[in-house]
Amino acid sequence: MELVAEMSEAELFDAGDYWSLPVEDCTVARVSFDWAISLVIGSPDTSFEVRIEEHIRMAAMDGAGLTIDPEGDAQQLAPILSLLHQEVRYLHALKTGDLQICLEGGTSLHVSASDDYEPWEITGPQEVRIVSTPGGSLATWGIPPARAGHEDKGRQGDGRPVSESP
Mean pLDDT of the chain: 84
The pTM (predicted TM-score) of the whole model is 0.81
H-helix or E-strand containing 74?
A: helix 74-77
User: DSSP secondary structure string, 10-27?
Assistant: TTSEE-SSEEEP--TT-E
The DSSP letter of residue 76 is: H
Confidence of residue 145 (pLDDT cuts 50, 70, 90): low
Q: Look at residue 148 and tell me whether its pLDDT is greater than 60.
A: no
- Tell me the mean pLDDT in the region 34-48: 94
Confidence of residue 92 (pLDDT cuts 50, 70, 90): very high
